[in-house]
Amino acid sequence: MARHKDGIPLSVEPSEHDSKLIWVTRNLRSAVASGRLKVGDRLPSHRDLASQWRVSRGVITAAYEQLQMEGVLRTRTGNGTFVADGEALARAPVPPIDFINLERSPIDSRTPFLAREADVSLFPIKVWQRHISSALNQTPGKLLLDKSLMGIPSLRAEIASYLAFARGIRCAPEDIMVTTGARHSLDLIARALRHTTEEVWVEDPGYTQAHSIFKRSALRIVSVRVDEEGLVVADGCQAGPKARLVFVTPAHQAPTGVALSLERRKALLTWAEEQDAYIVEDDYDGSFAFDTTRAPSLKANDPGDRVIHVGSFNKILFPALRLGYVVMPTRIRSEMQSVKAVSGWSTSALEQIALTSFIREGQLSRHIRKAERIYAHRCKLALQSIEAAFGRTPQASGTHGGFHFCLWLPDKETALSLQNALAGIRLQPVRRWESAGEQRDGVVIGFASLGDKAIKEAGSVLGSVLRNLST
């Protein structure tokens, strides 16, 4: 007959860095591992243990559910919670929700909710194979002796046509430089402009790799706050009055997902014109918009030719492609060419030729339309799954497009508690992208490369945890 435990003595003292949920779960694990709780023991009710340990019932509920997922506890409907298997701790506990260190942990596109990149299963690989085969049949000189520093002319012409149709950008092929992707583009830009400015505005929270790239070119980072309308231009003017460069993600801010408002766009373009400055527009997931009206790119409304537009086919198609592009203002074209000539070509003629015919045949537009519909569905499904289990509509931003949205949390305690909540889900907190540490607490929900089943299950788990923590 199972023993009933009216109380469980505390053995682990709380740390100032621990949330209540982490502290409670650690104590329960310790009790099982040490043998103070044995297989078959019945645990106190949620209410009784919450009263004994002076925490909320929601925290106890979340801790019990965490240990059930690990196989340490089990629940009998109407009969309580019991120790299932003390050996589970020593065997292989499933990793809990993990707040990832962005500098050290790779993005796993199949783990909820890290899925912040294109779903490669949607890419028409057989069509691509046909275009690669066709490229291989080109005259040998094109493939083996290509010396197109800026990228092969035919690809640049197709990119210009695509941008005019899809992003409202009017540019000539000679305005375009082919690169290996966004980071390569940013590195070239930083080195080309490092003699014109000592400072660069960067969104806060914002893209961490941009910080590293600009710093390596000896530029001082000026962190500029982001609110519900995007980059706060007035803050930038005050914090970095000498800057002549700014980096923004206006279509779908990374990581908050907010879109740069019309007023802020006008203010930023005016600032650039008055300061003789340049704006780097990273359009990393701007091709995927779920609203009926698609906002044009910042470059599309750039009368002064001050915006440097950066795009990446690695994000649109598949990561291993390693092809991106920069739309350069006329004034800096020569310097950009010089920098690339020194750094090396870095882009394969084979893939460039294949991508040229892929775009010309209409396959790029066809793929984007298909992926956009699927990503819109997955975004909606993730929100619905979280809401259904949470019992209320969560606060979210960035649901109008892209690969992710931001789920805002009520307080720091809730954000910390999620770190040890349930197995199988990994979350990235907004604070990992911060410099000043003033942003509201939130987590990034990546959905683009997850199937419906994974989204429903993970959304339900996350919503249930949020519900328990809020009671």
Q: Where are the domains of the chain?
A: 20-91, 98-117+367-469, 124-361
Could you tell me which residues come within 8 angstroms of residue 126 by beta carbon, excluding any fewer than 6 positions away?
Answer: none
**Class of CATH domain 20-91:** mainly alpha
Q: 124-361: which CATH topology?
A: Aspartate Aminotransferase; domain 2 (3.40.640)
What is the model's pLDDT at position 93? 40
What is the model's pLDDT at position 466? 84
The answer to whether residues 379 and 290 touch, using CB atoms and an 8 Å cutoff, is yes
Could you tell me which residues come within 8 angstroms of residue 134 by beta carbon, excluding any fewer than 6 positions away?
Answer: 353, 354, 357
**Can you give the length of the chain in residues?**
471
Q: Is the peptide bond before 318 cis (omega within 30 degrees of 0)?
A: no
What is the model's pLDDT at position 79? 78
Task: Please choose, from the candidates 272, 335, 334, the residue with its C-alpha nearest in 3D space to the C-alpha of residue 303.
Answer: 272
Which stretch of DSSP H or E encloses residue 428? Answer: strand 426-429
Residues of the chain whose pLDDT is less than 50? Answer: 1, 16-17, 89-106
What is the model's pLDDT at position 333? 96
**Which amino acid is it at 457?**
E
Task: For residue 272, count other CB atoms closer than 10 A to its CB.
Answer: 20
C-alpha–C-alpha distance, residues 69 and 95, integer Å: 10
Q: 98-117+367-469: which CATH topology?
A: Aspartate Aminotransferase, domain 1 (3.90.1150)
pLDDT in tens, 281-331: 999 999 999 986 777 899 999 999 999 999 999 999 999 999 999 999 999
What is the model's pLDDT at position 371? 96
What is the model's pLDDT at position 99? 43
